[in-house]
Chain A
């Protein structure tokens, strides 16, 4: 009989303890981010599509060694470069990424010896048009610099 009442009162007490917990939570600050209006900074390890890295003059670091093109298992990358008249190094003239086939394996970034490509932090890409995922990275770099 004593146990019957003890069970009732301990049960009732546990309910009040639970309600105290949620009451405290209710007056604590919000922890969620309201996505379209606020965004979080992506973490360093995040792999978006690749992006060219520029040097101090705003030109790409790329020397057109083609290591990334060879490293890519899906053949996403195609680039062209040419030697300017009187110049020694090749200069990048186009860098095309087919993101529809890219699996973000990072082989190209690892293969690059000239610190020329990195993963971007783009995570909200969406389109109904397949062509939107064929990126001209050189044009994107120029756009960024303007």
Chain B
């Protein structure tokens, strides 16, 4: 009974954390866009516009969910759920501090990647079932992009696993916890003496942005060609779920980057280790992602696939091989 309640509580907290982040990252994004474009952004509702996300949510919920004629009802309805659910499931395995984690799973890394790739299925469900050429085309693009970028991302994660010797996310952070220079991103001082780690970080960062369909890789949502993307036929909270799923995936990507490369909740100077350090690093990465979105124009689909197949995959393979070699030598 108590176990059930604990699990229920953990699930509720995970959903609340994902939803809260999704809602307020939209605001952060709009404010960030405003700052970079030298305008205020949404600042009317509440102090600094902080009431904007709940009001947007109420507006979305008040709208009617229209299912287009010719749509596959079951797939159409299940697609937003399929995008949002895996994203929330991934939060179960993510550690935010040494005690703040829903489940300390030994194959945590594997589980996060497994659920992260399930989100693509929701995308293709949405595109296929909407009975709309634009959404189908957008879904195809999203899938080809996900396939292309999943490989270098997992290869980089494999490099980390190789060095850490574990797929337990908690243990990966614990190995980097001593001080600043033991973070995985710093090559020469850490446990592993792997000079390729900054490149790994770059590859991982680019891939996590592409995986979440973020600009400059948001080909699935290219308004100029595809009107809106795979969620074109969705209104109301169906659209809201896609939106929240996207932002939840950004949080997951940034969380993984923090865990793998930036030492998780460990403090750079050995002071007050705790969840706040994790949040500082997490939001610094998310801010960088927002900053990148409002800096670069969208790439073309060929540029996107070329970047993956011609540069990132060979680079991550070489990275993996050299890491294995370095591990053997030292």
Contact = CB atoms under 8 A, between A and B. Distances in A.
Real binding pair? yes
Interface of A: 8, 15, 18-19, 21-23, 25-26, 28-32, 34
A32 B40 contact: yes
B214 to A, nearest CB: 14
B38 A30 contact: yes
Contacts of A30: 38-40
A120 B294 CA distance: 40
Given A18-B296, A21-B295, A30-B40, 11 more contacts: A8-B311, A15-B296, A19-B291, A19-B295, A22-B291, A22-B295, A23-B291, A28-B38, A29-B38, A31-B38, A32-B40
Nearest to A21: B295
Nearest to B35: A26
Interface of B: 35-40, 291-292, 294-296, 311
Given A8-B311, A19-B291, A26 B36 contact: yes
A32 B294 contact: no
A34 B42 CA distance: 11
11 contacts: A8-B311, A18-B295, A19-B291, A19-B295, A25-B37, A26-B291, A28-B38, A29-B38, A30-B40, A31-B38, A32-B40
Contacts of B39: 30-32
A29 B38 CA distance: 7
Nearest to B310: A4
Contacts, number: 30
B31 to A, nearest CB: 11
A19 B36 CA distance: 10
Contacts of B40: 30, 32, 34
Q: Is the interface of B mostly helix, strand, loop or mixed?
A: loop
Pairs A-B, 5 closest by C-beta atoms: A32-B39, A22-B295, A31-B38, A26-B35, A26-B36
A112 to B, nearest CB: 42
Contacts of A8: 311
Contact of B38 (A19, A23, A25): A25
B294 A22 contact: yes
B303 to A, nearest CB: 10
Nearest to A27: B35
A141 to B, nearest CB: 37
Contacts of B311: 8
A19 B40 CA distance: 20
A31 B292 CA distance: 22
B36 A22 contact: yes
Nearest to A22: B295
A109 B326 CA distance: 86
B253 to A, nearest CB: 18
A58 B213 CA distance: 66
Nearest to B297: A18
A23 B37 CA distance: 10
Nearest to A14: B296
A6 B296 CA distance: 21
B329 to A, nearest CB: 24
